[in-house]
Structure 1
């Protein structure tokens, strides 16, 4: 993961209107070192990661998540993991549905990406997590280009290193695929029972 370009970081920097030189000056490093962080060649120290997170409004754990084995374990799993800020705009996303690109969603909220009952329900869940400052969970159905998907969505508030609320995180597990797998397994089991009886 260390060599993968951090396109999410580049987009957050551009959303804030900073050049590489400007953000490097703000966190007291030279531009070439910052460039290596953005290009994925370098991993920032914990202190530097916190400074970047403060200036660019994301949660510092993203750097740790990139290096975690869960990245590889979840790549083909029916799960989406994301972070969002207090305006409910994505600051990072992992494994989105193919209708969405992991970089183009940065800086946008769900309704801006696709306005439908599912995205409005998801935004309401996120609003409540921020307002109540506690974890919430809900099953939500979304229309996608290849059909309807139901996700079990868990949202949690996110705090920075100073204990300030900066947004939230969500983990969405696809239920519709799981249901199809269970139905498929049940059909095979009943076929086997029929064969045994004969």
Structure 2
């Protein structure tokens, strides 16, 4: 079951019929994709992703990321992508305080508001506005106290070399 896909569709107040029509696919096929009984082709994943404003690779993250996941399992590293509106389109290995199913499609300030969130959003906005990489130390108040991260942000480009968002890699620091 792709609960993240169902939740994202519902948050955008769309029906399966509306998504399938906008993505130019059969509703029954879309329902099978949501239920996890069928995997979309890359072309169909791109069509659905453009409707829901997410990265199409999210449909294949389980397949594509196995070596990545093994290398980073239980590590203090969080990797994420956001669009130009700072809404998460992909995330890997979030802090335990965050549920990946709750993060997709949201901005940081919709999840929490504190100095760390504001600094992170400013970092991502700078990356998008300037097209330059940015590196900054940011602290976040989390369940186990104030946690420091070294955050590296870089622009995401489409095939036309236009900035479509930002990618961040955040490493938890020992303090």
After TM superposition, the score normalised by the length of structure 1 is 0.77
Can you list the C-alpha shifts for 1:116-172, whole angstroms capped at 9, x where unaligned?
111111010011011012322222111111112111212222234555433222221
Equivalent residue runs for 1:68-83 within 5 Å = 68-69=65-66, 70-83=68-81
1:35 to 17, 31, 34: 31
1:8-27 equivalences under 5 Å are 8-27=4-23
Conserved 8 A contact 1:89-1:107: yes
Question: Gapped runs of 5+ residues in structure 2?
Answer: none
Q: Equivalences for 1:99-114 in 2 at 5 Å?
A: 99-114=97-112
Aligned pair count reads: 173
**C-alpha RMSD over aligned residues:** 2.1
TM-score by length of 2: 0.86
- State the match for 1:156 in structure 2: 154
Which is higher, the Rg of structure 1 or of structure 2? 1
